[in-house]
Amino acid sequence: MPLNRKQRRTQAKKATGSAPQSAGPSVQQLVAEALQHHHAGRLTDAIAAYRRVLALVPGSAPAYCNLGVAIEAQGRLDEAIAAYR
């Protein structure tokens, strides 16, 4: 009888000796980082963090909105409009 997904994962963990490690911060951590930068006025850092969020969750409307706000605050209106869209 073939193994189900849970059984295959358990078998893989036993073979490697541990669970797979995450490659980086979670989406929630990136959002929190972006908001901290934004609220502190570090707009360049906030924009970079919002873009990292969007790389992980491409359809995130709140990330696009916050990205647009941060870009608009830098006076780059055409880019802000593109983020809002």
Output the pLDDT for position 19: 46
pTM: 0.69
For the chain, list the domains and their CATH numbers.
27-84 (1.25.40.10)
Closest C-alpha among 38, 19, 21 to residue 30: 38
What's the token pair of residue 52?
């990292």
At what angle are helices 43-56 and 61-73 packed, to 10 degrees?
160
Compute the Cα dihedral for 30, 28, 53, 62 and give only its sign: negative
pLDDT tens-digit map of 3-61: 777 766 776 666 555 444 556 778 889 999 999 999 999 999 999 999 999 999 998 99
DSSP string, 6-33: HHHHHHHHHHHSSPPPPSS--HHHHHHH
